[in-house]
Amino acid sequence: MRISKRLEDARKAYDKGDVTGSARAHGHRAITQAQEEHGGAASQYLGEMVYGGLDGIITTFAVVSGVAGAKLGTSVILILGLANLLADGFSMATGAYLSSKSEQEFYRKEWEREAWEVEHFPEGEQAELYEVYRQRGYNKDEARQMVEIQSQEPGRWVKAMMVDELGMLEDERNPLANGLATFIAFVIAGTVPLLVYLIGLLVPIPANIAFLASLILSGIALFALGAAKVLVTRLNPIRSGIEMLAVGGLAAGVAYLVGALLKGLGG
C-alpha cells in the first residue's frame, strides 16, 4: 500500500477541516513531489504487517487460552503455542505470497490479451471503451474524445482498457517481500502471549499468574495493533483498538471454554 506524504497531509487536513492545509497539499509543488516519491518500501506492505500481526496474536492467545482452560500445564502451552506460531505464520506467509503472485500473473495475462486485441481489433476495442465511458455518464462527444485521446498511444490504450473496462490495477509489490512481511509480523505479534511462559522457563511463575500476565500483555498488544490498523483503514484509532480487543477476547474466551469443557480428555 503506497501512501505519499501529500496524500497523508490531504487526509489530515480533511479530518481537521483545514482548508489551508488541504490547499497546500493540492499545490503544484506537493503534487509533483508526490509523483516522484511513490511512497516508501515499508508503506507498501503496511496492510500485510498489521493484519498479519493481528492474526498472529489472536490465534496464539486462543491456543494459550484453550490449554489454560484445560489446565494442561506450561509445557503444553509452549509446545502448542510455538508450533501454532510457526506453522500458521508459514501458512499465512505462503498464502500471501501465492495470492500476490497469482494476481500479478493474472494481470499480466490480461494485459497481454488486451494488447493483442488492441493490435488486431482496434475498432472493436475503441467501441468497447466508448461504451464504458457512455455508461459512466459521458455524452457521445465526450466519450468519443476520450477514446480518441486514449487510443493515440498503444501502452496508454491498453492501460485504459485494464482500468476502465476490467477494473484492474497493477500490484507492484514484491510477492516474496509480501509473504515475508506477513510472516515476520505474525511471529513477532504472536510471540507476545507466550512471553511470560518463555520467561517461566528461567524463573518459575505460577500458572494462574502466568495466564493473567499473558492475558494483559495480549490485550495491550491487541488494542495497539487494532489502533495501528487505522493506518490502513483510516478509521478512529480508539474504536478500532476496542473492536480488535473485543474480537480477540471473544476468540480467547471460546477457546478457554472449550478447553475447560474438554479438560478431562487431557488425562
Span 81-93, average pLDDT: 91
Taking the CA atoms of 194, 250, 47 and 97 in sequence, report the sign of the dihedral they define: positive
Q: In the structure, what pLDDT confidence band is assigned to residue 1 with cuts at 50, 70 and 90?
A: very low
25 neighbors 215 (Cβ within 8 angstroms): no
CA distance 187 to 93: 10
In the structure grid, which three cell numbers stand for residue 155, read together?
A: 501502452
Give the pLDDT confidence score for residue 10 in this predicted structure: 64
Helix axes 46-70, 237-261, angle to 10 degrees: 30
Residue 130: CB atoms within 10 A of its CB come to: 18
pLDDT digits over 243-267, tens only?
888 888 888 888 888 878 877 665 5
Q: 30 Cβ partners below 8 Å, 6+ apart?
A: 6, 9, 24
Whether the CB-CB separation of 44 and 2 falls below 8 Å is answered with yes
- pLDDT at position 36: 46
Among candidate residues 235, 197, 239, the one with its CA nearest the CA of residue 218: 197
Q: What is the pLDDT at residue 8?
A: 65
For residue 210, give the DSSP letter.
H
The single residue listed with the C-alpha cell 471473544 is: 250
